[in-house]
Structure 1
């Protein structure tokens, strides 16, 4: 598994009646692949995983693996409240041909450090798939500390970290402690270039769903040392990237996909499509960004 590059956390596409829209999903998936992304992540927050049925998740995983056909790795996110459910999805991901897993700490129950470490080790020891730990204490209220990663280092297939603590210095802290033992991927759009400059080797991205070419170009320019060129695109991108750090990031990013012609704004309840002043405000950000889109 090469934990390097831009990994879109793709949205799940729905018809107006709420059923899966696989044709539109594949249209966006092809847009991502044609733009040069390095992997695909299914079933994250943007994928509205908590509102999907087991069969829908299986369908999405199976059909994505088939459609991608080995061009890039397909990663399945696991965000469960029970260890047995996490084990089910780890086994199912392997059965369906996924390339790896992204795993959050236990959901809903506020597990302590011993419980979180045991949870991750239990899943890791039950699968041969490579694993990225999703460390997001802001949204999910559990911090995976440096000391916890010290304990997890014995599991060879725990290989990467989606760094979403929103503390840029944590990239340096982890590198100082572990060297290249863990691959670090930025998980917060508004800090992506900063973390790439500090040593992250990847970007688990949100606005990439609507703007993949710009996202991949920023990543590539940073890798090539063309920092000033990357800054210009990143500064244009920032107002759009800020849509990723709001509780309604799903609605915001889906509206951006709609305006870019690669998605729809249909969401699954309890989420609702945007209306009124909020919709007008977010559309202004999106349409202003599109009108000023840089030439790459």
Structure 2
């Protein structure tokens, strides 16, 4: 199975008291599909998975799959510090209707250990595996030779979510050795244009304007490079502001709240909430970038794809 297009890392909606808001989860799922998402990912870095109990995690998978109604695939973050636990989480995700797995490496910087970890998940679960290459988050480097070996020797390792900077040269290096590997960028979309130019198949990220990402992807893949550039550069201010360590989840939830996708932007403790100053900063960037106007102009044909 290969992947292309725009795949969205979903936040986990909570109410104002920090309880799981399954109604908003359904609303968000419908919103993202309506805005052009080609796939959804739950329990990723943005999903606050480490703050969720096992029953809550299962509810999120089950409800998202139900809300998606097979319109797009739903992938599940299932990596773990232990291989047996990763297998257990991966198998359970598939039982609950997942289309595949986003699997971060184990916390051991050893190529043999990493290969064996993915090999055991591959053999035990038999489902699509998306390698999560994000050393800033995982602390683990996946070398190009290791990724190449994983892809060539393990049947279900078909995709990589590439977030190891500089992503451009790394995309080129992986594409040269792995012509059939699906390469999806991330990092909030910050380098999406350059990644596409170097052979990426799309993107998998949590940017709160998936319709903008889809417009960039559609313009680029249809050969309208100048339009892809225009949309991308007009969006960069918002991409930059959202992709801030420590407050990025709160900012993205607030944008989704403003766009009517969820009811509350609450982030579970010890996460940061959006305060008054951040509200003002966000409003300034939204006013400057005029993303809603850009989206409207693309819909009406004033700016043509």
Give the TM-score category using the shorter length: over 0.9
For residue 217 of structure 1, what is the aligned residue in structure 2? 215
Q: Is the 8 A contact 1:186 1:192 kept in 2?
A: yes
For residue 169 of structure 1, what is the aligned residue in structure 2? 169
Identify the range of structure 1 (222-231 vs 279-288) with the bigger mean alpha-carbon deviation.
279-288
Question: Is 2:59 the partner of 1:86?
Answer: no
CA offsets 1:264-294 (integer angstroms, 9 cap, x no match): 3111111031225444334432444347731
Tell me, what secondary structure is at the counterpart of 1:56?
A: helix
For residue 250 of structure 2, what is the aligned residue in structure 1? 251
Q: Distance in 2 between matches of 1:291 and 1:151?
A: 41
For residue 235 of structure 1, what is the aligned residue in structure 2? 233
Task: Report the alpha carbon displacement of residue 19 of structure 1 after superposing the two structures with TM.
Answer: 1.1
Residues matched between the structures, number: 291
For residue 114 of structure 1, what is the aligned residue in structure 2? 112
For residue 11 of structure 2, what is the aligned residue in structure 1? 11
Tell me, what secondary structure is at the counterpart of 1:46?
A: helix
Task: Report the alpha carbon displacement of residue 44 of structure 1 after superposing the two structures with TM.
Answer: 0.7
Q: Is the 8 A contact 1:45 1:250 kept in 2?
A: no
For residue 56 of structure 2, what is the aligned residue in structure 1? 56
Identify the range of structure 1 (236-245 vs 33-42) with the bigger mean alpha-carbon deviation.
236-245
| TM-score for both structures, normalised by structure 2 | 0.90
Question: Is 2:189 the partner of 1:194?
Answer: no
RMSD value over aligned CA atoms?
1.7
Q: Distance in 1 between matches of 2:286 and 2:221?
A: 27
CA offsets 1:34-83 (integer angstroms, 9 cap, x no match): 12211110101111111111111100101111121211111001232111
CA offsets 1:244-273 (integer angstroms, 9 cap, x no match): 432121112112212222233111111031
Q: Distance in 2 between matches of 1:68 and 1:257?
A: 18
Distance 1:242 1:135, change over 3 A: same
Tell me, what secondary structure is at the counterpart of 2:268?
A: coil
Q: Distance in 2 between matches of 1:261 and 1:39?
A: 20
Q: Distance in 2 between matches of 1:147 and 1:43?
A: 28
Q: Distance in 1 between matches of 2:110 and 2:57?
A: 29
Q: Is the 8 A contact 1:206 1:244 kept in 2?
A: no
Q: Distance in 1 between matches of 2:88 and 2:253?
A: 29
Q: Is the 8 A contact 2:108 2:114 kept in 1?
A: no
Distance 1:139 1:259, change over 3 A: same
Question: Is 2:80 the partner of 1:69?
Answer: no
| TM-score for both structures, normalised by structure 1 | 0.93
Question: Structure 1 segments of 4 or more deviating over 6 A?
Answer: none
Tell me, what secondary structure is at the counterpart of 1:80?
A: coil
Identify the range of structure 1 (277-286 vs 50-59) with the bigger mean alpha-carbon deviation.
277-286
Unaligned runs of 5+ in 2: 299-305
For residue 159 of structure 1, what is the aligned residue in structure 2? 158
For residue 273 of structure 1, what is the aligned residue in structure 2? 273
Tell me, what secondary structure is at the counterpart of 1:185?
A: strand
Identify the range of structure 1 (280-289 vs 216-225) with the bigger mean alpha-carbon deviation.
280-289
Distance 1:113 1:291, change over 3 A: closer
Task: Report the alpha carbon displacement of residue 159 of structure 1 after superposing the two structures with TM.
Answer: 0.3
